[in-house]
Structure 1
Amino acid sequence: MYRRFIATVAAASIAITAFGAMPARADNDDAARALAALLGIAIVGKIIHDNKKDKKAHHYEKKHVKKNHVPHYNQPSYKPPRYQPKPRPLPRRVDRKLLPGKCFHSYRTGRGKVRMFGRRCLKNNYDFVNRLPRQCLYVFDTPRGNRRGYEARCLRDRGYRLARR
């Protein structure tokens, strides 16, 4: 911390010891002058040292200089568009013969198990109810009451199929 100051004091002490080795003079004034000169030099050295210490206290931070940014180049890669194939709708002439699967029900009647398409369900979910054959329209008596609908076997014989969607 005070290396220079300590070095100055050490140099002064060596110089003073050198004076002691010299032959003694009658005049003590020379030794006092030399001692005063060394003391003056030490004081000036201390002042200079303190002055430099103040400059170090007010040091400035180095500014970080940004280097020129070179963009990283990636080779463009071809990404084909995402294609999610959807089935084409059936033509109306084919779609007309497909009956919705959610309208197909089985009921127990007095003459056994009857499989049929409910009339109300077909009206809500099938566009061509008015084109269904009237010969297939039946009223079935079930424990819960009468059910109106189209018998599945009759419709199958006439070319209609169950759409499994």
Structure 2
Amino acid sequence: MARTSRPQPHRKFIALIVAASIAITGFTAAPARADEDVAKILGGLALLGILGAAIKHSRDKDDNAVTHNYTQPPHNHSHGGHAYRGYGRDDRYVKPLPPRVRRYDLPSQCLKYFPRYSRTHPLVGKGCLERSYGQTKALPKSCRVTFWNGQRHRTGYKPGCLNSHGYRLVRR
């Protein structure tokens, strides 16, 4: 808890008593004997010591108040220096996609430019797909393109058309 800057009533009272005792000891106008002077000085010092101890004790009570200073740890997505693997997750073996999903993944290495077809539009080569993918008969016939390369007829598939039918090119 933070201290307030406003003085508390019991501290004002203690300060008033200290000021009054100092003022009273200064007003003794009658000449006194040496014994009485020493006794008054010792009594005044004892009173000041007791008042000082009381003030210190009241301040120590304020310092012993329990405070909870909790600071939020920085939010940097770290997991204590360890890689977060998730609950019960094992990264040594990655479960493959099921065949009904995997069949729509075409190897991106088969995407090539065929200059006799077009210099700006690539095609997915049928021969590469047969070697790497194996399910070319299941590809949509509307995406198939056959062209003459100067020696023989070549077959390829338009990637935009395959994409619109749900196929995607992935790196394997």
Q: Which has the larger share of strand?
A: 1
Which structure has the greater CA radius of gyration?
1
TM-score computed with the length of structure 2 as normaliser: 0.42
| Structure 1 length-normalised TM | 0.44
